[in-house]
Amino acid sequence: MTDMASLMEDRAAAKVISDNLRKPVDWDSPKIARNIKKRYAAERRFKSYGLVAIGLALLALCTLALSIGSKGYSAFYQTYVQLEVTFDPAVIDPEGTGDPDVIGRANFDGLIKQALRDRFPDVTSRSDRRNLYGIVSGGASYDLRERVLENPNLIGQTRTIWLISGDDFDMLNKGYIDPTVDEGDRRLNDKEITWYNDLVAAGAVEKQFHTRFFTSGDSREPELAGIWGAAVGSFYTLIVTLALSFPIGVLAAIYLEEFAPKNRFTQIVEVNINNLAAVPSIVFGLLGLEVYLNVMHLPRSAPVVGGLTLALMTLPTIIIASRAAIKAVPPSIRQAALGLGASPVQTVTHHVLPLAMPGILTGTIIGMAQALGETAPLLMIGMVAFIVDIPGGALDPATVLPVQIYLWADSPERAFVEKTSAAIMVLLAFLVLMNGLAVYLRKKFERKW
């Protein structure tokens, strides 16, 4: 009976619904009009949220770029001071041997100091003289030496030469030191500023493009410090990272996607790969410290260790991106190949992998960009050391660009502020370059297919 009753009820409900369906809709009624208006308003609102979000993102990006650019652009220029240097044979080569070894060991610093004393003969007190010598950088003597070694005829002559200035004078010339504030509150005293003004008036101060910044390694003297050592260190580190993480990551992705049976074990592997991608990078640094340095005794501070550590960190990113790219290859292509009698490996290498390559490359380059910007794990394995020499290989001690930025940001000298920003610009330029490469490679592969 109850069945019958419920059946009747259902019938009745169905009747009401079908009656409603049969009723014509009045598309001009105010209710419908209100509904349409509301829908349009919601759409406009949604669009404007998106615009605001993009606007905020752009604003943040512009602020960042402007702040870094305005602080850092001056690092690409360096103040030089013109002095009359006498290449005194008594100092350079007293016996007139012309032996490069003798010339190389000569006291060129003394020549520069002599030149400064000649330029400002009234400076006599010890402390004033010490300040006076600060006009020219300590590194200028190396330039002089090279000049003489290149052209020994200079010995005995007097030449007007542009010498790289000390960092405080460089800062003054770039306007970062305000001569109007109280003497005790600035790096340079009144006398030093008078000398500077004197030199400027004589036209003996100028800014030149600072090639040394791009060609030399780190230094305690800001005017001598360059980015090249860190760039080369980054290059070796990334090469090691790529050489390890790309093949391992892609092979792991292929195995998991195409060959692995779907069971509990592979599920656990999958979950853990996703977990690894979220592990803080410092943990990988500790792992690298323990395994590579303490157990395997690989050289400390070397790009090879940095690369090994970063490879661990990049692997999950590459595996996840590669798996997504492989999964996106339509199954019909696999079936077509298998149906023709291609073996599973042939199917993968001839069809799936080439089709997935653009996605895999994008993922890899994103991983590499991450590795390029990574600092924390490298601190753990000693790549934070102060290294002046430019590394000649993956086993030499080195530092990398982000660590160099960290080191400079930590240095007290005013002149390192602009170096820090300039180094950030160089790092960003590398990132842009890498992303450009990613886009180019992707386009190229896509055209081929």
Partner 1 sequence: MAVVSQSAMTAEPSVENPKMTARNLDLFYSENQALYEVNLDIPEQQVTALIGPSGCGKSTFLRCLNRMNDTIDGVTIKGDVTLDGRDIYDKRIDVVQLRARIGMVFQKPNPFPKSIYDNVAYGPRIHGLVNSRDELDEIVMTSLERAGLLKEVKDRLQSPATGLSGGQQQRLCIARAVAVSPEVILMDEPCSALDPIATAKVEELIDELRSNYTIVIVTHSMQQAARVSQRTAFFHLGKLVEVGETDQIFTNPKDERTKGYITGRFG
The site for partner 1 (CB under 8 A) is made up of 261-262, 330, 332-343, 346, 350-351, 355, 449
Cβ nearer to partner 1, comparing 115 with 356: 356
Q: How far is the CB of 420 from partner 1 (least distance, A)?
A: 48
Cβ nearer to partner 1, comparing 254 with 426: 254
Q: How far is the CB of 262 from partner 1 (least distance, A)?
A: 6
Q: How far is the CB of 440 from partner 1 (least distance, A)?
A: 20
Residue 415's nearest CA partner among 82, 173, 132 is: 173
Q: How far is the CB of 342 from partner 1 (least distance, A)?
A: 5
Positive/negative CA dihedral, 24, 29, 33, 38: negative
- How many Cβ atoms from other residues are within 10 Å of residue 111's Cβ? 22
Q: How far is the CB of 269 from partner 1 (least distance, A)?
A: 16
Q: How far is the CB of 346 from partner 1 (least distance, A)?
A: 6
Cβ nearer to partner 1, comparing 300 with 350: 350
Backbone φ and ψ of 199, nearest 5°? -65, -40
Q: How far is the CB of 344 from partner 1 (least distance, A)?
A: 8
Q: How far is the CB of 330 from partner 1 (least distance, A)?
A: 8
Cβ nearer to partner 1, comparing 183 with 446: 446
CA–CA distance, 167 with 210 (Å, rounded to integer): 13
Q: How far is the CB of 258 from partner 1 (least distance, A)?
A: 10
Cβ-contact 217, 391 below 8 angstroms: no
